[in-house]
């Protein structure tokens, strides 16, 4: 085996896990590692800001299985914490590599730039928001620690933190032990019993339904759930966080379930079912329609990463994959999908040349515009909530719909297009969110990417106005469509009417000219019915 330094070992392990890009902003504690990354063929996508790099690495990981962000100490690392907290909350395996002061210089001069309290401050912050946090300060254990941390990220689908003191970069590494990446197996007895009881209930049910959740995506079980739906003819609803787990054009697709915020037909079907199979669903407030979901636990089968419950019976140590594989082999009684509702395709309302663009019309046109070579990336706000009705394909919708950090979509699109160059990003972003990280369009331009960017300009924080309004929900009205002039790249257009939108979307199909930004100038107070329903619930909660 060729001799490795700690730096080369780390880089080669990342490449071995399919990583082809690293996102970040350099600083003196990490510059030599950046040089080494380039020398070993891992290009660096340097973003305008570290948070942008974190979101880009997150989207890259959602599509490819692992993402990497590399930053300098303190000023860089601590700016990443929001993005990494989101990755932890939503189970996305992102590797954070932070350069750090060398061990030698720490001994000589404790007051080194970018330090906070002491040499462990940043490490302790990341321990809270990662699955494993390691410092490569010992040549004997460094390679082992790298393997152990990477294996933790891949198994738990959560971020990890690797701190690299700059004087350890070129120290020889000793690959000692292979870390066994085999995931814990299901308990055979528990698995048998869980499958038997679940299969009996699903077979006996008159109107069973599957609700597909986020873990199916994170653990790569999309084929299994589609297979189960096809074999059993049990219809499938998805959740906002699980949107993109299944193709929403499939014949067995019922619609998006979100408690009382769902369309009536979907809510009635799911809540009227006598056996609801919840696969990888997290009962978050957003996915349960701010806890308006009415699911009788005695009629539910819930399967997550490591346990299954059937009604009130719990089965420990049952892996979701094993449970699904076994369910796919069950001979269910024949059923048809007759009578199962399908999501309505919004009708085209004839519009005159001067008809003002509305959120409803925007999403109707986007529904007709979307093709299977696009990935929709939505920021929290009406951009994301209105997208509930947008039918997307498998792996073609990304949104942080649990942790809900604004500013995800533009940098996320940079990561997504680099992860899957065959997919063109369609970014849905509010004006407030755009003002947070929209400058990452500069990164998209620099690296030759061509997202379509839909900025919903509604004069500020529309999501918050129905909850509690004040001048704090206003923002400076930027001229978003002037951005190409500033960046010297891309195209943009301001859209006031439905007809202008049709023309702009037709022009957006033309590729090869960088990003295309559509500034959608909405009337004050215009919002999607989905957001109206959500904010009514949130307002009631805030007032309570
Ligand atoms: C980073 C971050 N800061 C603050 C919030 C709280 N917040 C939730 S929605 C919202 C308004 C978003 O405004 P905009 O992006 O314009 O979308 P709109 O609500 O207008 O659809 C804010 C500030 C958040 N979710 N994330
Ligand atoms: Mg807004």
Residue 178 is predicted with a pLDDT of 64
Question: Which ligand 1 atom is at minimum distance from the Cα of 433?
Answer: 15
Residue 133 is predicted with a pLDDT of 98
Q: What is the pLDDT of residues 28-51, one digit of tens each?
A: 999 999 999 999 999 999 999 999
Q: Is pLDDT at 155 greater than 60 in this prediction?
A: yes
Q: Is pLDDT at 1 greater than 60 in this prediction?
A: no
Task: Indicate whether residue 407 lines ligand 1 (CB < 6 A).
Answer: yes
Residue 531 is predicted with a pLDDT of 87
In the structure, what pLDDT confidence band is assigned to residue 395 with cuts at 50, 70 and 90? confident
| pTM for this model (two decimals) | 0.96
State the chain's mean pLDDT as an integer: 94
What does the pLDDT average to over 469-488? 97
Contact 159, 218 (CB under 8 A): no
Residues 6+ apart with CB under 8 A from 406: 379, 380, 381, 430, 432, 433, 436
Which residue in the block uniquely carries the two structure tokens 């932070």?
Answer: 98
Residue 59 is predicted with a pLDDT of 98
Distance 452 CA to ligand 2 centre (A): 18
Residue with CA nearest ligand 1 atom 22: 461
Residue 351 is predicted with a pLDDT of 73
Least confident piece of the model among 60-64, 110-114, 179-183: 179-183
383 against 307, higher pLDDT: 383
What's the angle, vertex CA 148, arms to CA 147 and CA 150, rounded to 5? 65
Task: Indicate whether residue 400 lines ligand 1 (CB < 6 A).
Answer: no
Whose atoms come closest to the Cα of 387: which ligand?
Answer: 1
Taking CB atoms within 8 Å and a gap of at least 24, the contacts of 188-192 are 190/315, 190/316, 190/317, 190/318, 191/315, 191/318, 191/319, 191/322, 191/323, 191/326
State which residues have CB under 5 angstroms from ligand 2, the bound ion.
Answer: 430-432, 458, 462
Q: Is pLDDT at 179 greater than 70 in this prediction?
A: no
Distance 432 CA to ligand 1 centre (A): 6
Question: Which ligand 1 atom is at minimum distance from the Cα of 379?
Answer: 15
Distance 196 CA to ligand 1 centre (A): 46
What does the pLDDT average to over 410-424? 97
344 against 338, higher pLDDT: 338
Q: What is the pLDDT of residues 247-266, one digit of tens each?
A: 999 999 999 999 988 989 99
Query: Distance (Å, rounded) from C-alpha 399 to C-alpha 477?
Result: 25
Task: Indicate whether residue 457 lines ligand 1 (CB < 6 A).
Answer: no
Q: What is the pLDDT of residues 288-327, one digit of tens each?
A: 988 889 999 999 999 998 889 999 999 999 999 999 999 9
Residue 177 is predicted with a pLDDT of 65
Residue 322 is predicted with a pLDDT of 96
Distance 429 CA to ligand 2 centre (A): 8
């Amino acid at each position: 085996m060729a001799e490795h330094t700690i730096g080369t070992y780390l880089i080669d392990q990342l490449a071995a896990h399919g990583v082809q890009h690293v996102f970040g902003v350099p600083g003196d504690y990490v510059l030599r590692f950046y040089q080494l990354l380039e020398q070993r063929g891992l290009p660096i996508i340097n973003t305008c800001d570290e948070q942008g790099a974190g979101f880009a690495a997150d989207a890259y990981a959602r599509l490819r299985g692992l993402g990497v962000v590399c930053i300098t100490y303190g000023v860089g690392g601590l700016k990443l914490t929001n993005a990494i907290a989101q990755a932890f909350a939503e189970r996305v395996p992102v590797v954070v590599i932070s350069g750090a002061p060398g061990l030698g210089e720490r001994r000589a001069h404790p007051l080194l730039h970018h330090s906070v309290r002491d040499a462990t401050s940043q490490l302790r912050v990341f321990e809270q928001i990662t699955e494993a946090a390691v410092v490569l300060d010992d040549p004997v254990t460094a390679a082992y620690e790298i393997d152990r941390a990477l294996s933790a990220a891949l198994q738990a689908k959560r971020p990890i933190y690797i701190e690299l003191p700059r004087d350890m970069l070129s120290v020889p590494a000793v690959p000692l032990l292979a870390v066994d990446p085999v995931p814990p197996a299901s308990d055979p007895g528990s698995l048998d019993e869980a499958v038997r009881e679940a299969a009996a209930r699903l077979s006996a049910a008159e109107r069973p339904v599957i609700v597909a959740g986020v873990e199916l995506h994170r653990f790569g079980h999309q084929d299994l759930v589609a297979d189960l739906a096809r074999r059993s003819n049990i219809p499938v609803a998805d959740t906002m966080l699980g949107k993109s787990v299944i193709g929403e054009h499939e014949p067995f697709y019922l619609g998006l379930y979100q408690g009382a915020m769902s369309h009536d037909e979907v809510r009635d079907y799911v809540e009227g079912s006598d056996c609801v199979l919840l696969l990888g669903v997290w009962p978050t407030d957003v996915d349960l329609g701010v806890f308006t979901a009415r699911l009788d636990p005695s009629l539910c089968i819930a399967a997550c990463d490591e346990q299954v419950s059937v009604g009130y019976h719990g089965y420990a140590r049952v892996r979701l994959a094993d449970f699904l594989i076994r369910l796919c082999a069950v001979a269910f009684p024949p059923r048809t999908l007759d009578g199962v509702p399908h999501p309505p395709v919004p009708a085209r309302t004839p519009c005159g040349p001067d008809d003002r663009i509305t959120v409803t019309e925007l999403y109707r046109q986007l529904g007709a515009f979307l093709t299977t070579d696009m990935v929709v990336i939505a920021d929290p706000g009406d951009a994301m909530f209105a997208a509930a009705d947008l039918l997307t394909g498998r792996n073609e919708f990304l949104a942080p719909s649990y942790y809900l950090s604004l500013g995800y979509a533009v940098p996320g699109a940079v990561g997504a297009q680099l992860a899957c160059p065959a997919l063109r990003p369609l970014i849905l972003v509010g004006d407030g969110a755009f003002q947070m990280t929209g400058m990452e369009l500069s990164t998209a331009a620099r690296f030759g990417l061509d997202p379509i960017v839909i900025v919903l300009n509604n004069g500020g924080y529309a999501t918050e106005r129905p909850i509690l309004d004040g001048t704090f929900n206003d923002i400076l009205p930027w001229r978003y469509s002037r951005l190409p002039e500033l960046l010297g790249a891309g195209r943009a257009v301001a859209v006031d009417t439905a007809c202008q939108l049709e023309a702009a979307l037709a022009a957006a199909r033309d590729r090869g000219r960088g990003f295309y930004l559509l500034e959608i100038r909405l009337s004050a107070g215009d919002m999607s019915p989905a957001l109206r329903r959500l904010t009514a619930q949130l307002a009631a909660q805030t007032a309570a």
